[in-house]
Amino acid sequence: MNYQAILNVIEKELANFDAGGKVPTYIPELAKVPANKFGLNLYCQNGEHFNFGDYDELFSIQSISKVFTLTLAKKFGGKKIWDRVDVEPSGDPFNSLLQLENEKGIPRNPFINAGSLVIADILISELENPKKYLLEFVRKISNDQTINYDESVAASEKENGYRNIALVNYMKSLGNIKNNAEDVLDFYFYQCSLKMSCYQLSKAFMIFANKGKILSTGEKVITTNNTKRINAIMQTCGFYDEAGEFSFRVGLPGKSGVGGGIVAVHPGQYSVAVWSPLLNEKGNSEKGMKALEELTSLTGLSIF
């Protein structure tokens, strides 16, 4: 398969694609990012990689970080994490409060904000320094020591994070947050502020394409079973109330972030990250989705 030729076609075809949509203004620091950025990196099981555009530029990974924190929570929190967060699609926006009241403060899944805040709470209980641990983990699986948090993005979200503040306090009132609400928010805003490129993200996500093993070192960092489960949750919940649409159009497990990034995984084949900052109404990168739809259509390689 000539992946680079296919990527060149996608780049050309989408050069003038009008994605519509907006950059997120509720995190003012993200609203400053140029809307016309566009890049993609495909990382293959055999170690080859292919790309176009702004694939090497750092951006805010936002909710994509929820996959990394879930991975760590599975490692340290074991099975009992499922008593505190469910694995069902929510069909609601990523920051919705609605279902919590009827569902005893148990979020529908670990990828909506409520669920990831519970995961953050679990990591604070389990790890002495969760910020440091998470950063070291992401650096290790990406084989890249330069990856870091963006403190200005974390601060920008902290100043304006009314929805997440409400979610944490509401779940605390229902008994599903054990630590101090401010500590949970602080860790959560930091995890979301991780800045990575499409190249780094696709490399990191190879663990989900490679049965939990880091491609470059062969070290197994997630069990095969947990890799299966995390991919399943990406498939059913990775795009909030657009998870069905993403499955339908792209046919891969994946995760989006309001920084405009999307990562998707084809187990046993490749991992791919795309970045285009304009978001549709569901908070997902419209052009990113289109690029991935083209990728699985032109290669004929989706999991379905």
Active-site residues, by number, are 63, 66, 188, 240, 258
What is the closest distance, in whole angstroms, from the C-beta atom of residue 94 to ligand DON in the complex?
A: 4
CB-count burial class (<10 Å; 0-12, 13-18, 19+) for 114: buried
Which of 164, 210, 231, 269 forms a contact with ligand DON (CB under 6 A)? 164
In the complex, what is the shortest distance from the CB of residue 112 to ligand DON, in angstroms, rounded to a whole number?
9
Task: Say whether residue 235 binds ligand DON (CB under 6 A).
Answer: no
Q: Report the DSSP beta bridge partners of residue 195.
A: 60, 148
Site for ligand DON in 176-215 (CB under 6 A): 192
Question: Alpha-carbon distance 272 to 262, whole Å?
Answer: 8
Q: Minimum distance from CB of 62 to ligand DON (Å)?
A: 3
277 binds ligand DON (CB under 6 A): no
Which letter does DSSP use for residue 94 in this model?
Answer: T
User: Of the candidates 301, 260, 280, 304, which has an alpha carbon nearest to the alpha carbon of residue 53?
Assistant: 260
The one among 109, 113, 142, 156 contacting ligand DON by CB under 6 A: 113
Any contact of residue 130 with ligand DON (CB under 6 A)? Answer: no
Restricting to residues 74-103, name those near ligand DON by CB under 6 A: 94-95
d(CA 125, CA 178): 8
Which one of residues 134, 171, 214, 258 is an interface residue with ligand DON (CB under 6 A)? 258
Looking up tokens 């990191």 gives 204
Query: Least CB distance from residue 22 to ligand DON, whole Å?
Result: 13
Q: Segment contacting ligand DON (CB under 6 A): 73-81, 97-105, 129-137, 255-263?
A: 255-263
Order of strands, edge to edge, in the sheet holding 254-256? 49-53, 39-44, 270-275, 261-266, 254-256
Which residues contact ligand DON (rule: CB under 6 A)? 62-63, 94-95, 113, 157, 164, 192, 256-258, 283-284
